[in-house]
Structure 1
Amino acid sequence: MATSPVETVTTPADKAKLLGAGVFVVAAIAGFYALGKQGPLVQWGALLAGLALAAALFLVSESGRQLIGFARDSWREMKKVVWPTRKETLQMTGYVFAFVVVMALFLWLTDKTLEWALYDLILGWRK
């Protein structure tokens, strides 16, 4: 059984960066509520500034660099996707709708057949 490796923050500098980012997030939220009397512009400015500092500090840590690398790889893979044309999309949608109708008719017919067999033939309950 294959297990994926668990990645942990090992260096004290990375731990400090992540702790600092967490402190900035908490400070930004606390500042948002503490500056309630200053007006919404100051409140939102403090919140966004604190979150921006937290994001910047996180992105310079090892975890942040790994996240950036993952995002780049994901974007590169996304560019490789071949999207269907409009005609192909409409055809596949038509096939799905046709299958749903056929399946609904099949299930209705099966239900009515079982209802007839159980209630009329076996139990003798006439409607």
Structure 2
Amino acid sequence: MATTDVETVGGGADKAKLTAAAALVLAGFVGFYLLSAQGAWVQWLVLLVAFGAAVALGLTASPGQRLIAFGRDAVKEVKKVVWPTRKEAGQMTAYVFAFVVVMALFLWLTDKLLEWVLYGLILGWR
């Protein structure tokens, strides 16, 4: 029997923070629709402020901290990548296009050869 690791929210404080963040998102939606008479700017401002506060609160919880650490690690790994120079990228692109043209010609010639063998020689339809 295989066991799987299940990640759970840390403690009560983390659960409270995530619940409060969800409540802020819900409050943002409710405020957006209740303030329709105030104008679109007020609606969107309330929605964005509520979402921003929810994200900020969610990032202070343990899962949010793990997300931030993952992002930092991802940036470190991307910085380790050796990117090709402009010349190398152009050469590799030219190689790919040349290969595509050669393969297209090969497949077209193979198709025409099989068409000639099957329809011309074997079946005599031409």
Question: TM-score, with normalisation over the residues of structure 2?
Answer: 0.93
Number of aligned residue pairs: give it: 125
Cα distance in 2 for partners of 1:93, 1:43 equals: 48
Instruction: Give the secondary structure class of the aligned counterpart of 1:125.
Output: coil
Aligned residue identity for 1:66: R
Residue 16 of structure 1: how far off its partner (Å): 1.5
Work out whether residues 25 and 51 of structure 2, in 8 Å CA contact, stay in contact via their aligned partners in 1.
Answer: yes
1:72 maps to: 72
Identity fraction in percent: 63
Equivalent residue, structure 2, for 1:9: 9
RMSD: 1.5
Q: Which residue of 1 aligns with 2:51?
A: 51
How does 1:110-125 map onto structure 2 within 5 Å? 110-125=110-125
Unpaired runs of at least 5, structure 2:
none
The C-alpha deviation readout for 1:39-84, integer Å capped at 9, x for no partner, is: 1221111011100110111001000000000000001111111111
Alignment of 1:34 with 2:34, yes or no, is yes
Q: 2: distance between equivalents of 1:89 and 1:3?
A: 45
Which runs of at least 4 in structure 1 moved beyond 4 Å after TM superposition? Answer: none
Equivalent residue, structure 1, for 2:104: 104
Match of 1:91 in 2: 91
Matches of 2:66 and 2:119, distance apart in 1: 65
Tell me the TM-score normalised to structure 1 length.
Answer: 0.92
